[in-house]
Structure 1
Amino acid sequence: MKVLLIAIISLLCHLAFGQEGRSTVGDSPFARVESRRMGEGRIVIRQSPAVEQMMGHYIRNNRNMPGVEGYRIQLYSGTGAQARQEAQEVRTKLLSQFPDERVLVEYNAPFWRVRVGSFRHKHEALPLLKKVRDIFPNSYVVREPAIRLDDFNRN
């Protein structure tokens, strides 16, 4: 009886944990593709375990990132005693002309920066840059390493 019980437990463990390196159906794209639903065919993916581990590593790294790379338009960057006040004045001036735009005033020692917009691709920022340059002729597009998906400009 003990042998039968051990065999059943071993079989269940093998079924539950037998696919090394695989995540649950919700985590692994491979497991999602291979999972079967009623009325669907069966897909079997054969590849090196290293490919699956690399994909898992890529997924985990992306989940830990606070956002995605994108672009903003930088209007002002300054240092010194008056830089904070100047940044706020730039923000106010921009919002008076473009009230629907999201303006960010950031402090990253020793710089105060004023940036506007959130764009996934650089070419999406160019129409706004053209309009903003009438007021701020020295403005330019900058790459932003982590923009939240909620922040992107919708056209």
Structure 2
Amino acid sequence: MKKAIFDHKAIPAGIKYCFLLLLLSASVKSFGQTRGKVQVVAPPLFDTLLAKRAALNSGKAGGSPRYSSSYGYRVQIYSGTNRSAAFNAQAKCNKEFPELRTYIVYREPNFKIRAGDFRTRIEAERFKQQLSAYFTSLFIISEKINPPKITTSDD
């Protein structure tokens, strides 16, 4: 009969594994997340700005109607890569028609000068006829416009 061989290395290895498991469980418990509180610090005027924005969006600010943009037409009076020519065209349009809004649109590499905020294409066509004496290539562009304020009288 053979004698049982005692493995003297098995006990220290078992102790090492138990010690490793003990360290892992302690580290998981110590690094666990706990719920906290979030405190938001806002400037004192923040609430008043929010109230004003809500009033403007609802149309109750001073009894004036809500200002919004919609789709309409503009007349394009210049399109090209020359920046100074674009500003000259805009200045010429502003000089001849001071009541009209002009807009500069830059999409690389072109500058585009557009004039007017017309709700219908017929209005844009009429204005295009007036501009044809001052500018050579005119186009009517459909895009988002800033409609003029409508004044109503109680007559």
User: Larger C-alpha radius of gyration, 1 or 2?
Assistant: 2
TM-score normalised by length of structure 2: 0.49
TM-score normalised by length of structure 1: 0.49
Normalized per residue, the structure richer in helix is 1
